[in-house]
Amino acid sequence: MTRRRKIVGVAVAGVLIAPVPTGVAAAAENCELRAAAGDPAAVVDGQTRAGAVQVRCGDRWLTLRQGTAGIADQPEAGDRFGASVAVTDVDRNGAADLIVGAPGENNGAGAVHVVFGPGNDGQPAPIVLRQGAGGVPDLSEPGDGYGSAVAAMGGTVLVGVPGEDLGDGEAKVDAGAVQVVSIRGGQVDGVTELNQDTQYFDGTVESGDRFGASLAAGSFDKPTAVIGVPGEDVATKKDAGMIHIVEDPVVAIEETGIGQDSAGISGASEPGDRFGASVAAAWDPSLPVRVAAGVPGEDLGDAADAGMVTVLGYDGRQVTEVLAVHQGTAGVPGASEDGDGFGTSVAAGVIESASAPGPEVSVAIGSPGEDLGDLVDAGRVHGVQVGSDPRVDGVVSQETDGFGDAPKARARFGAALAFGPGAASIVAGAPGHDGEGAVHATPWRALFGTAVVADNWFAGRDGVPAGSAFGSSVASDPTG
């Protein structure tokens, strides 16, 4: 667990698309963006898997897709618009912005759309990011997967490009990269590219690393990014995985690399663990950064791909393990079984509790492969409270009272997770529910047994647009 520093250059970029009408999906009243849910399998204008994003704007829905309301490009088969989403106030004007990945665009080259203040008047026009245009470095090539993961913080959008080929003659296939895009005045102001060839970065560039397959971003004592590299080989252990914690990713890099062979980290690097397949982080000035890393391929006993999650503390100098949890941990509901995928998704937030002496970190963990009785891959979400007295017994599923429908086989509840405002609620996707998808927003305390009513949004019902895999990605602004 080493700490490295390097100063890197920033490429100045210009406007990426031609001027379009200001704002998108303008409303008579300003929108309170409650949640965004991607449906990358949506059929749009007859184009299969073109993709769409549904935005919960107050008590109504806005449907965003390519080619409408100022959003660039046209829907094409396989674009997968909405495969990744993030919500934050990027341009710092008080309105939540939406970042949408379309990694299938142009034969898998990919693109990312930044939609400023959807549902609000007077916002900058949306912009589209793609490699090799408007000052964004590199070439847009089939299979790059630009936008497979996205994250954002004030002034910055991070884009995962896990299919990027690197090395001499681009021989390192799918080594992966991350672009750190600075945004100012509704336009691109510069781009920094990170990969494992960056000087002083831990790890080496190898085929199949998929650097940037997962991302988190926020502000500690300085801007900080977490980058997942689930395909990292550790010695002969293929796809063991690792993560990087990077401070000041735009200019001054302080990088720490962590894997399961790092000192003090539970478990051991093993083939197929995919440590870092999901990452999340909680940011609070009174606490060290808490980073959650999902290890959905972890085998536990005879249970293959049962999964686990490691929660780390980072104080700007070193990383320590705070907690490691799986379904064999005392107090965690359920049992480790083949294919549970515990840690396929993670979300983290900081919550104030009257029963706690100070702010505590909450970690939500998706186990979308969990079977509920005879319902295969119905899915479940677990909750962990990381404080002076850690609590690991939180759990909720679609069979919990107040979730609006019976659980369904292959719903994959918990395939995507995000924390809502104040970390008082979580947003969970169930993209396989009834073949169309569902999203649930539930108070955090519901995971610990408090009887509450969730907001339940089923594709094709009660004003929610029809879907194909609604809830494949979800986002909300925990600071909103």
The confidence score (pLDDT) of residue 21 equals 37
The string of pLDDT tens digits covering residues 188-230 is: 999 999 999 887 788 889 999 999 999 999 876 788 999 999 9
| pLDDT higher than 60, residue 22 | no
Instruction: Give the pairing type, strands 52-57 and 187-194.
Output: unpaired
| pLDDT higher than 70, residue 1 | no
Contact by Cβ (8 Å): 156, 33: no
- Residue 387 forms part of a structural domain: yes
DSSP 226-242: EEEETT--BTTBTT-BE
The token pair at 351 is: 């919550």
- Residue 159 forms part of a structural domain: no
- Residue 30 forms part of a structural domain: no
The confidence score (pLDDT) of residue 479 equals 66
- Residue 104 forms part of a structural domain: no
The confidence score (pLDDT) of residue 421 equals 75
The string of pLDDT tens digits covering residues 275-298 is: 999 999 998 777 778 899 999 999
pLDDT band at 8 (very low <50, low <70, confident <90, very high): very low
The string of pLDDT tens digits covering residues 312-345 is: 998 878 899 999 999 999 999 999 999 999 999 9
The confidence score (pLDDT) of residue 110 equals 98
| pLDDT higher than 70, residue 444 | yes
Q: What is the CATH number of the domain that holds 402?
A: 2.130.10.130
The token pair at 346 is: 């993670």
The confidence score (pLDDT) of residue 202 equals 87
Based on the structure, what is the number of domains in the chain?
1
Mean pLDDT on 248-277: 92
| pLDDT higher than 70, residue 58 | yes
Domain that holds residue 355: 283-294+329-480
CA distances to 109, 226, 297 from 134, rounded to whole Å, are 16, 26, 39
- Residue 465 forms part of a structural domain: yes
The token pair at 70 is: 């100022």
The string of pLDDT tens digits covering residues 79-136 is: 999 999 999 999 999 899 999 999 999 999 999 999 999 988 889 999 999 999 877 8
pLDDT band at 3 (very low <50, low <70, confident <90, very high): very low
- Residue 469 forms part of a structural domain: yes
| pLDDT higher than 60, residue 12 | no
Please tell me what DSSP assigns to residue 433.
Answer: G
- Residue 355 forms part of a structural domain: yes
- Residue 260 forms part of a structural domain: no
The confidence score (pLDDT) of residue 424 equals 87
Query: What's the rounded Cα separation, in Å, for the pair 425 and 446?
Result: 9
Contact by Cβ (8 Å): 239, 274: yes
CA distances to 70, 126, 188, 319, 468 from 113, rounded to whole Å, are 11, 7, 12, 34, 21
Q: Residue type for 197, please?
A: D
- Confidence (pTM): 0.93
The confidence score (pLDDT) of residue 390 equals 85
CA distances to 32, 53, 181, 326 from 336, rounded to whole Å, are 40, 34, 40, 7
pLDDT band at 252 (very low <50, low <70, confident <90, very high): low
Phi then psi for residue 190, to 5 deg, are: 165, 160
